[in-house]
Amino acid sequence: MWESYLTGLLVSGGIIIAIGAQNAYVLGLAVRREHHWWSAGLCMSTDLLLITVGMFGVSAVLLAMPEAMAIMRWLGVVFLAWLAAQGLYRAIMGRQGLERAEAEKRSVLGIILTTLAVTVLNPQVYLDTLLLIPSVGAQQESEVAFVAGAGSASMLWFGLLAWCGALLSPWLSTPRAWRLIDGVIALMLAVIALNLALG
């Protein structure tokens, strides 16, 4: 049982830690202290839900509908490109630094909806959580322990992103630091969108 748990923790952790759209988005919110725990919590919950569903056969349905995956792919490309363009605009134009008023411009609902879009419009999320991770989990002695390990990896990673980003925000409050952060996040999102478009 513990072996299944550790396998789930390591396999899921290795996949989640790879820089993706969710990671970049949550980190950006955390550095701005902009409802970042709501976003991180939604990412954790979504990962756990998808991994659990994938372990119990939905992956077969997904493989039977390649058209749906193609539609999700192009919606994801457009949405990620839009987020990247916003980040690039902020990197060029600059900001005034870390101010509470800036963080209050977007509502919790807006953050949740954007996080949900970043998650569900990325086909890679489905490939990882509904296909790749469950394919390893199906070989384990305890599927429940494997899912618990995979869920723990998601909770640890997104919790760490939210906590560390917020912890570092006082040192990243200058306009120059913001330009750099926005530029790096925009670049990461653009690369992910390009990979989706070409892949």
For the chain, 199 residues long, give each residue's pLDDT as a single digit of tens.
888 898 888 878 777 776 567 888 898 888 888 899 999 999 999 989 988 888 877 655 656 666 766 776 677 678 778 878 887 887 888 755 444 445 456 789 999 999 998 888 877 787 778 777 777 777 778 888 989 999 999 999 999 999 988 898 887 667 787 788 778 878 877 887 787 788 6
Instruction: State the pLDDT at residue 59.
Output: 54
Neighbours of 198 (CB within 10 A): 7
The encoded tokens of residue 108 equal 């919790």
Task: Please state, in angstroms and rounded to a whole number, the distance separating the CA atoms of residues 179 and 197.
Answer: 26
Residue 33, SS3 per DSSP: coil
> Over the range 117-148, which residues count as b (16 or more CB within 10 Å of their CB) and which as e?
bbbbbbbbbbebbbebbbebbeebebbebbbb
